[in-house]
Chain A
Amino acid sequence: MFKFDRKFILGASAAAAVAMLATGCFKSGDAAAPSASNGDNVLTYANGKRVIDGGRYYATVNGKSGPYYVNTDTENGGYTYGRTPTANELEAWNTTVTPWRLPPKGQGTAEEGEAVYEAKCVMCHGDFGSGGGGYPALSKGNAYDNVKTLKFQRVTADAEGPIRVFGNYWPEASTLWWYIMEGMPHPDTRTLTDDEVYALVAYIMNINEMEIDGEEVDYEYVLDQEKFAKIVMPNKDGFEPVIDGANGLENVRAYFADPANFGAQKIASADERCMSNCQKETAKVVPITIEQKEFIPPLSEVRDLPEVENTAGVDLEAKNTYESSCAVCHGAAGMGAPVFGDKKAWAAVVGKGMDTVYANAINGLNAMPPKGGTDLPDDKFKAVVDYMISQSK
């Protein structure tokens, strides 16, 4: 009886397996059918809407999404992990400022903003937000005139290109408030007060020669929450598609449904692509004219043993501190700080006498924050100064 059953079961399951194989083949062939792949059906989601980015959607068919098997039992929800955030937690983390969520109450003038800027921003973003040394410019003069540059194309090396700074390019001022609060100053973010951020925004508007509600943002202009709400950026309408409002997503969908909007090319089937004589008579080979070759480390395909870094006599703790706390300013030119490894610059520093140098660096000197912004004990901090000097001889 048992034997018989077993045989029967075996036989039945083998038959079932064969049947499954057959239907499996048939069905997967169906789902993968390459000829259908350019058809519209795969460019829509299960709800019939076009895929938002203009690409493919891989529905789960017969337990597979594209080439991947899926355990569809995992897709039904019912998970009880985690907990509800408290009201305080939600508030603490939700510091986002958007066109539909004003910054907290506060105020500041452009003049106050300039003082903060000179203390905390100028070393990277340059005088009056001019940028330089690779750091982004925050202004290039009159925002309204600069909007007109957006159609410029830099076709030759000496031609003028478009200016893309806050004043003439950004669509919303909320972004500036949010970003300065959350992302600047670069070496130590989330350290500014609300009033300081209002003041900095006023200052940056001032150097971009901008207006709020017809009024010029001059030195004395007091920017507060109410006035902030009235800012209209000069290039507000400079973006496509329109993402705001009830039709935002549909506008994006329609935009990416048309390859002509974003420089893409589509073909109805592989046979449509050009295979011979595809180029214009005027086609020519353009070589590199201005070659960039400052690669770090230099390109090399050589297989050899690396040079062993000589760490004898190097204070590794000081080296680590230098890399994490000082390199941001001392690592490259442009910050006004003596550059690590620059023998001449450091010889001049050491020339002042080490007592002076330690004192300057501990107490701060112009754009050099006290102890470089660290809270190291004096001896540890001095070891970092010594390390920097020893590596710049």
Chain B
Amino acid sequence: MRNEHSQHDAENVSAERRSFFKKTAALSATAIAGAGILSGTRAMAEDDPVIMNTPDWGHKIGYPVTKNRYGMPSPYEHNITRRNAQLLSSGNWQASIAMCPIQDLSGIMTPNGLFFSRCHGGIPTINPNEWRLMIHGLVEKPLVLTLEQLKRYPNVSRIHFVECPANGGPEWRGPQFNSIQFAKGMMSNAEWTGVYLKDILKDLGLKPSAKWMLAEGIDSSHMGRTVPVDKVLDDAMIVWGQNGEALRPEQGYPVRLLLPGWEGNLCVKWLGRLEFAAEPFYAKEETAKYTALKPTGKAIQHFYANEVNSIITNPCPEKPWTDLKKGDLVEIEGLAWSGMGTIEGVDVSFDGGNNWVEAKLKGLVLPKSWTRFSFMYKYEGKPLILASRARDDAGYIQPTIDQETAVMGVESVYHRNGIATWEVTAEGKVNNVQVRS
């Protein structure tokens, strides 16, 4: 890089200017040797040295714009990363999940590199030029599209969360993870760009007998899922864009199905085939996995929308209040979402859900999207049991853990949306706890 730079200089800068640069270079070389340049004022013990001194980056020229043509986060942010646990794998890392660090996100958009990632046969590297989408079965005109052709359709962009229905699933019997990333990180939120499936189907002539659609992946797991046509004709999208760029391989490059608000597993990644039929397909993920077993011995076989849910992200086990002093004004912040509609409001509780006060929503409030809530609190240094409870415009409100387990028992694995609680200790530490009767 250095060489590249001096070459550039040699070509464009006059000899005079060049000698000036040389001098400055010599100057900064001496500065590097020390711990930065001292300011003129004499520093006293109570003065903060990072204010009193000029750090390296304050005088040493930075790296050129020709570096990092695809930008990367600051190296100082390397701990903000997806994380894994053997417990959440089916044997190997190719049938597993990477959890999103939701404690470190702001706003409602998840950077693509941090988006949670789940796969059943590893993450394929698909050549987009050899990608095809086939739509067939109970349609008058079956269709094959290349990626270029698919992208010719007029596109829409929508902000939606994708959540694995097993988010929080390890905690039906009690809390297990003292971490928000592991307790609730099987989800992320992005702006998706693609085409409404109903707009493609207009020309294909869906037969009246078509009731179900199989969506199938072209990765090594060939994962399939059955989708009712109601959703297909409502807001189902075939997407290729994620936050303004191509889908990441982990999210289904080049193309995935997006069923806004519905189980992440249904939003089949690495999509290749859509088949319409009169009867459901009974795919592998509609049998031992992704069905919710109730205490009656019966399981909900098709379980679609992720129900209304919320979690306080600040504080949380990873972001405690240990630095606060009594009397500090602090923002309690969190995420609320519903796969059945738009968040209408969120309440917070300081006593584990016995008494509630209404929080404020902030930022964009969109259907089937993460929504931020906020509550200003004067920190007292007293132990608290913090909870949040969201409700949506379809009329749903988060159940208590008791209400939810009364129906679902503790063996259903999926779709757990009971009210979550954090214990805040007198020292400001935060622990994952549950409130049960």
Contacts and interface: CB of A to CB of B under 8 A. Distances in A.
Interface string A348-380: 000000000000000000000000000000000
Contact of B93 (A43, A182, A327): A327
Contacts of A263: 399, 403-408, 415
Contacts, number: 407
A6 interface: no
Given A54-B305, A262-B303, A283-B352, A82 B143 contact: yes
A155 B174 CA distance: 10
A85 B136 contact: yes
Contacts of B104: 301
B423 interface: yes
B410 A155 contact: yes
B143 A152 contact: no
A26 interface: no
B91 A55 contact: no
A98 B394 contact: no
Interface stretch (B10-18, B55-63, B217-225): B217-225
Contact of B281 (A96, A249, A276): A96
Interface in B68-87: 75-79, 81, 83-87
A171 B282 contact: yes
A283 B415 CA distance: 23
Interface stretch (B31-39, B150-158, B250-258, B324-332): B150-158
B145 A81 contact: yes
Given A240-B300, A275-B347, A293-B178, A305 B76 contact: yes
A285 B230 contact: no
Contacts of A341: none
Interface in B18-45: none
User: What range describes how many residues of B lie at the interface?
Assistant: 35 or more
A170 B341 CA distance: 32
Interface residues of A, number: 132
Residue with the greatest number of chain A CB neighbours at <10 A, chosen from B91, B176, B275, B353: B91
Contacts of B146: 82
B149 interface: yes
A186 B228 contact: no
A214 interface: no
Interface stretch (A10-18, A132-140, A193-201, A221-229): A132-140
Contacts of B292: 262
Interface stretch (B46-54, B105-113, B199-207, B237-245): B199-207
B310 interface: no
A37 interface: yes
A307 to B, nearest CB: 9
17 contacts: A53-B261, A79-B199, A82-B149, A83-B144, A89-B134, A134-B89, A153-B409, A179-B284, A190-B222, A248-B212, A265-B396, A280-B437, A283-B353, A285-B385, A286-B436, A292-B176, A294-B86
Interface of A: 34, 37-38, 42-43, 45, 49, 51-58, 66-68, 70-71, 74-85, 89-90, 93-94, 96, 98-100, 124, 133-136, 150-155, 157, 161-162, 164-166, 169-172, 174-175, 178-179, 182-183, 186, 188-190, 238-241, 243-245, 248-249, 252-253, 255-256, 259-268, 270, 273-280, 282-297, 299-306, 327-328, 331-332, 334
